[in-house]
A and B are shown apart, each in its own frame.
Chain A
């Protein structure tokens, strides 16, 4: 397995030492991560094998790879959502600013306030549009109504949903279309202002305008937060990310600067996947 840490890459042909001193300390450090799921017939699925990778502050890391390779699994580990899957087992280390988030006594509620996540399938709550977005804020104990309203409106605006829902904030969120629901979930996650945002195929609904807006948003957000995004679209990975990680059958095959990954990947499997996609 070849993982390329930023200290090893040399963007623009700079001398290695210069990159080393310039490299900030990672936001997230994943070390030798293994994930097992309980299988159908008592066995275990080894969904992730020995994954080691860093995520740096204010960068967008794209995760690509064929269906079932473990991208969602990787994402879920980063805010301990695998805790909710009966029989799922995680080994290895994941550090958030140096702290081991996999530790048994680590407070997952606080972790999830810092590391937000938008799932592959949108799940609007059985509440109004406004209350959906306000949900996290209220859950965190924010009671100031004006502040809640301000942050809800801001989040809906950033998620490019404001114009479509501003006249029906009190309507039930279950009435939104698939793409709108997806953006609602993004707004919901943004409202609580996490430090890290995990996006699992946030633009799976085929809506080119919303997709463009979301990509704009990602570019804007990375000014102050760290983003890990799963995408099936090579073009999207190329557009939004600084680095790309390629997963294949539970292994991290290669991670590196996005430009380099798409022009001259080190691994033939990466190349096959990328070129296969581009046709």
Chain B
């Protein structure tokens, strides 16, 4: 009897969640689909944001996400490998790193934005300018690279925690089998443990992408631009971003009602892009898994 009510409660809860998701999706698709066109996907906004498209924002978002992934995955994975394979469980440094990771995960994203401005743009960037560009503001201003690094910092805990979990799930017996053959710890880690955990490591990258692609607050002061016709071509260029564009359309437009179709169109594009990035990551993950277990067929 209790089982039945539990099942019913779970079913109702799931139905509510799925239902809300569907309502949001339907609403976005219904209001946004009509403006989607080749021009919308490629052109820059025009006519006081009431016409044109979101081309630069799509490009900027994709570039930002890719750069972020390139930055966060190696650093996060190496940190996780160190935590799980090399650090002694009682080591002070390991405990400090874990504490930092846990705290980092709880920091509001706007704080990351301010930190990115203060640290990357004003400290590292200006330092670079002084050292290499004779004080001319080259990197000491908001730009793609700083926004990507700020986002990388935001998504770092996700990568570290998920990767460490994947590594810990590798059975000790497998490590032993490698060590017993006279392989070193390093060989065991990188040739047996990491390949075995590859599915989980790629999942961590997926999670980072999902988390990072839609964030606006961390890039507000570190590189996102309100409006740009030119696409970014250098790491220190500013860029448009879909999430930020949604915010701009919703709050900064002279006539909110007239920009609404554009707004929904942009949201739809953002959803689809995030979804596609996820699909790519999932496909990579399935591929590696298949490559590992191809003989099962």
Contact = CB atoms under 8 A, between A and B. Distances in A.
Given A125-B192, A172-B292, A109 B184 contact: yes
A81 B176 contact: yes
A84 B182 contact: no
Contacts of B294: 171-172, 175
Interface of A: 79, 81, 84, 109-110, 112-113, 116-117, 119, 121, 123, 125-127, 129, 135-136, 139-140, 168, 171-176, 185, 188-189, 192
A113 B173 CA distance: 18
B178 interface: yes
A117 B225 CA distance: 62
B46 interface: no
Contacts, number: 88
Interface string B163-194: 00000000111111111111110010001100
A189 B174 CA distance: 14
B175 A174 contact: no
User: Which of B174, B183, B195, B293 has the largest number of chain A CB atoms within 10 A?
Assistant: B183
A168 B176 CA distance: 26
Contact of A175 (B177, B179, B183, B293): B293
B183 A139 contact: yes
Given A84-B175, A175-B294, A192 B182 contact: yes
User: Which of B172, B291, B295, B297 has the largest number of chain A CB atoms within 10 A?
Assistant: B295
Q: Interface size class for chain B?
A: 20 to 34
A126 B196 contact: yes
Contacts of B173: 119, 121, 123
B187 A172 contact: no
12 contacts: A109-B184, A112-B181, A116-B180, A119-B176, A123-B177, A125-B178, A129-B295, A135-B181, A135-B191, A172-B295, A174-B296, A175-B297
Contacts of B183: 109, 135-136, 139
Interface in B36-67: none
Contacts of A176: 295
Contacts of B292: 126, 172, 174
B180 A119 contact: yes
Contact of A172 (B178, B179, B182, B293): B293
Contacts of A136: 181-183
B109 to A, nearest CB: 36
B182 A126 contact: no
B192 to A, nearest CB: 5
Given A126-B192, A126-B292, A188 B179 contact: no
B171 A123 contact: yes
B295 A125 contact: no
B181 A116 contact: yes
User: Which of A84, A110, A168 has the largest number of chain B CB atoms within 10 A?
Assistant: A84
Contact of B291 (A84, A129, A172, A173): A172
A217 to B, nearest CB: 18
Contact of A84 (B172, B181, B296): B172
B177 A171 contact: no
A112 B180 contact: yes
B175 A139 contact: no
A51 to B, nearest CB: 21
B180 to A, nearest CB: 4
Contacts of B297: 175
Contacts of B171: 123
A188 B295 CA distance: 18
